[in-house]
Structure 1
Amino acid sequence: MITDTITQQFKKQVCDEIRLLEEGKNRFRLFTPFRFDDGDHLSIVLKKENNQWIISDEGHTFMHLSYWIDSSDLTSGTRKELIDYALNEFQIQDRYGELFVTIYNSDECGSTFYGFIQALLKICDVNYLSRERIKSTFYEDFKKLIQQNFSKERYTFDWFDQERDSEGVYEVDCRINNLERPLYIYAISNDNQVKDTTISLFQFEKWSHQFQPVTIFEDEKLLSKKGLKKLAKVCDQQFPSLVNHEQEIIHYLKENEKLKNGR
């Protein structure tokens, strides 16, 4: 009787394709039509804990995302903000990676389940954002690459020449020091950034800066070929994308370290 009532509420609030399968005392597997992008179904159970019914993913959602995204990327930056927003919006709790919601009122179990589904689907969207490499996560990944390969005293993000450019008009995404010629590295995701980078590099040459320019694109194929040709005149060290050329970028950075140390 209880499971029949719960099933009907779930079907009414979510969809008709809901089934409950008893797996043990006070424990049911919830089957829904909702899936991750790779086709796997969301994993959800209804179980009783401390005399209260809860709906839980038993850690499956974060585990599934970790197949595609580094676990550390789920605990900081834009991805974490999106996850936290979804959890707060639907009052979902995170217990060491297990996402769950408590059913306080049996009359509201259907709407509670609906909110839980919505939260999981929103959290799954961070995988989509990762693959699309939107600007915010692209720049975070760029910064992470620098931080993992240089000590803190070696790099400065959003660097500018304070003597000649006190307002920071000609900014460098990251400057790597302690080299014969510092690296001026730009993370570029759109045509406006291509243009701004070209202008900045020409200006640095005009100021007689001794430096090595490097550009790392989010996806070079999406950018204007005309703009890229202009940029190539002042920067011949370019990487078409971060996600597909990360090892090449790291190799280039380490080779510059060898040159600095005379090896």
Structure 2
Amino acid sequence: MQQRSAGIAVSLPIVGRDGDHLTAYVNEATGGWRISDMGATLMRLSYENDLAKLLSGSRDRLYKTVLKEAGLDEDDGEIYIEVPAAELTRGLFALGQGVTRIEDLGLWTRSRVESTFQDDLRGVVIEAAGTDRVIENYEVPGIPSAENYLVDFCVRTYREPLYIFGVQNRDRARLATIILQHLNQHKHRFNSMIVYADIEEIPSVDQRRLMLAANDAVPSIVERETIIAKISHRLAE
């Protein structure tokens, strides 16, 4: 712990990606403490990444989710938390954990986001509906050539089933559209939901076609609470 012009510098028992211990800067605030990284986290990320590109699309949403979950705020590149006087330790821990997760954003290339997408989607669907209600790669009975029109996830409800399709790129968007159109053509009764890895990565023309074919959509897999709420709503009907 050292007194510096930016505040009291506290070396945290957490090591960043560069191998150095993370430093938090503590200053008095109204009724407590303001604990900050003084902009160091995003500065370190900028050494290896274009921040404008890194903090866009799904990774920007993930960045904001990490901030929210850790109770952190950001002001012009400075990541900080304000806590009551008696909660200094909690604030230091929250900043350290949040900053560590934010540094990992530099590892989330587009290919890695796509490779983990299906696992992430499976996890949130099962969390919302339970293992017993979920069937993966569902072959719809009574549909011609059903083996060629598989549904990513079928969630069994008390009424029409809910079909969930994961879309991480243009090809998957077009495939989901074809499957939905085939099911609708044969008068099959169901509800459907699209979950995108990042809707901004999908061409607008493909978005429009899919929007016409599906009942509902979630623009990013990062929005777990929204996905769970939509599935829970269908289960409650």
Aligned pair 1:229/2:208, yes or no?
yes
Counting only pairs closer than 5 Å after superposition, residues 128-139 of structure 1 correspond to structure 2 as 128-129=107-108, 134-139=113-118
Structure 1 equivalent of residue 185 of structure 2: 206
Structure 2 equivalent of residue 255 of structure 1: 233
Structure 2 equivalent of residue 188 of structure 1: 167
Partner secondary structure for residue 138 of structure 1? helix
Which of 219, 224, 230 is the aligned partner of 1:246? 224
Partner secondary structure for residue 233 of structure 1? helix
Letter paired with 1:158: N
Structure 1 runs not aligned, ≥5 long: 1-33, 44-67, 69-123
Partner secondary structure for residue 134 of structure 1? helix
Partner secondary structure for residue 163 of structure 2? strand
Aligned CA RMSD, in angstroms, stands at 3.0
Structure 2 runs not aligned, ≥5 long: 1-14, 23-62, 64-102
Counting only pairs closer than 5 Å after superposition, residues 104-115 of structure 1 correspond to structure 2 as none
Deviation sequence 1:90-149 (CA, Å, 0-9, x none): xxxxxxxxxxxxxxxxxxxxxxxxxxxxxxxxxx98972388752221110100111212
The percentage of counterpart residues that share the same residue type is 20
Deviation at 1:225, TM superposition (A): 0.3
Whole-angstrom distance in 1 between the partners of 2:206 and 2:145 = 27
Contact kept? 1:216, 1:242, Cα under 8 Å: yes
Structure 2 equivalent of residue 215 of structure 1: 194
Aligned pair 1:179/2:165, yes or no?
no
Partner secondary structure for residue 148 of structure 2? coil
- Shift >6 Å, 4+ stretches: 124-127
Deviation at 1:42, TM superposition (A): 7.7
Structure 2 equivalent of residue 158 of structure 1: 137
Deviation sequence 1:189-229 (CA, Å, 0-9, x none): 00001101001001001111110110000000011101111
Partner secondary structure for residue 158 of structure 1? strand
Whole-angstrom distance in 1 between the partners of 2:197 and 2:151 = 16
Aligned pair 1:147/2:126, yes or no?
yes
Higher Cα radius of gyration:
1
Whole-angstrom distance in 1 between the partners of 2:125 and 2:221 = 12
Letter paired with 1:208: K
Deviation at 1:252, TM superposition (A): 1.2
Contact kept? 1:162, 1:168, Cα under 8 Å: no
Moved more, 140-149 or 130-139: 130-139
Distance 1:145 1:132, change over 3 A: same
Structure 2-normalised TM-score? 0.54
> Which one has more relative contact order, counting CA pairs under 8 Å at least 6 apart?
2
Which of 20, 23, 39 is the aligned partner of 1:41? 20
Distance 1:250 1:167, change over 3 A: closer
Letter paired with 1:141: D
Letter paired with 2:207: L
- Give 1 or 2: higher strand fraction: 2
Deviation at 1:253, TM superposition (A): 1.4
Paired residues, number: 145
Contact kept? 1:189, 1:218, Cα under 8 Å: yes
